[in-house]
Amino acid sequence: MKRNMGVQGVIRIAIAAGLLSAAWLSLTVAAQAADDAEALAQQAWREAIAQTEVPAAGCFHASYPNMEWIQVECVEAPHIPMRGLRQSTGPVGEAVGNGDGPISETVGDGNDYVAEVTSGLISKTIGSFPKVKGVTSETGEGLANSYTLQLNSNFMNTQTCDGASNPAQCLDWLQYVYASTPYEVGFMQYWLINWNNKCPTGWYSYANDCYTNSNGVNIPQEDVSELKTIKLSGSAVAGGLDTLIMTVGKEAYSTTGEDSVVYLATAWTESEYNIFGPGGGSEAIFNTGSSITVKVAVTNGTKNAPACVNNGTTGETNNLNLGSCAGKGGATPNIKFTESN
C-alpha cells in the first residue's frame, strides 16, 4: 500500500539536505583555508631561505620547512655561452621613466628593462614573476621547457680588465643563470668582453671575448607553469663570495663563486632579470596569449626607487613584447614591467 509523504516528511528531508550541504560547504571552506595557509607558509619560507646566507663556499640545497642549508656535490656547468648582445660594447641606455608607454619590440638582445640605482652600489638582486597569465607552453631550440632564467649585471670595467690588450676598451660582466632543459643547473657565468688577447687559464674563447663558469648546482627541470613560484637571487660581497639562490615550490638551491673573478661588488649599478632562450643567442618561444609580469628588486642601502632603463645586456631573447615599466621605493626597492604577445 503506497503512502503519501506528508508536509512534515518533506520538511525533514529538506532540513537534512540543507544540513548536509552546509557541512559539505564548511568542509570545502576549511580545506581551502588550509590550502591557502599552506601556500602562504611555503611563500614565507621561500622568502626567508633566500635571505639566509649559505655557511661556506660550495653548493647547497634546502627543503621546506627546514631553514638549514645542506651542502651537496657541485656539478659542471654547461660550456654554452650565455652571450652578451651582438654589439658587445653595450648601449648607454636612456631612462624611460615610470610608465611612460610601451616599447613594441620583442625582449632580449639589448632590448629589456633593467633596474638602475641612482646612488651607491647593488649588493643583491631578486628576480621574480609575480603574475603569469595565459602561459601554457614554451620551447627553446625545439625542446619544451628549454629556457634560461638570467639575472645579469651591467657591463663594467674593473681591475679584471687589466690583462686585456686594451684595458680601457674591455668590459667585464656577470650572469646568474638557471638553465632548464636539457642542462638542469644553476651557475654563474663570467665574461671578459673585448679582451682581444689570449684568454686566461680556465676561460673559454668566444670571438674577441672570454667566458668561464662557477661551479653548478643541480636544479631539476622546472615547467613554465611553475614560473610564478620561482625566484632567482644574486648577491655580491667585496673580498668574499658571489652567491646564486633559486627557490621554487618547496625547494631551494645555491652555488657560490669568488667575487674577485670580475669584482662585481665594486661596480654593480644595474640588474636585468628575465626568461630567455637556452643559450648561444637562442629564443624562448611562448604560446600566443602569454603575459608575464617581471619584478626586479634591488638592495643598495637606500629606499629610493630604481630607474627603469631600457638597457638589457644579454644576447638571448624571447618572443614577448615589452609593456610599460615603473619603479617603486620603500623597504624593497624594485621595478615592475609586463611583457606579452
| pTM to 2 decimal places | 0.86
The residues pairing with 29 across neighbouring beta strands, listed in sequence order, are none
Return the pLDDT at 84: 83
Return the pLDDT at 65: 96
| Residues 69, 60 contacting (CB under 8 angstroms) | yes
| Residues 141, 182 contacting (CB under 8 angstroms) | no
**Element at 34 (helix H, strand E):** helix 7-50
How far is C-alpha 184 from the chain's CA centre? 15
The three-state secondary structure class of 153 is: strand
Q: In this structure, what are the phi and psi dihedrals at residue 98, rounded to the nearest 5 degrees?
A: -100, 95
Return the pLDDT at 103: 41
Compute the radius of gyration of the chain from its Cα atoms. 24
CA angle 67, 187, 159 (to 5 degrees): 110
Return the pLDDT at 87: 46
Q: Tell me the longest C-alpha to C-alpha distance in the chain.
A: 108
Q: What is the CB-side half-sphere exposure of residue 298 using CA atoms within 13 A?
A: 34
121 CB-near residues (< 8 Å, 6+ apart): 265, 266, 267, 268, 269, 300
Mean pLDDT, the chain cut into blocks of 10 residues (341 residues total): 60 71 73 82 91 95 97 96 65 36 68 96 97 97 97 98 96 98 96 96 95 98 94 97 96 98 98 96 96 98 97 95 96 97 94
96 CB-near residues (< 8 Å, 6+ apart): 103, 113, 308, 309, 310, 325
Domain residue limits, the chain: 51-340
Looking at residue 84, what DSSP letter applies? B
Which amino acid, one-letter code, is at 132?
V
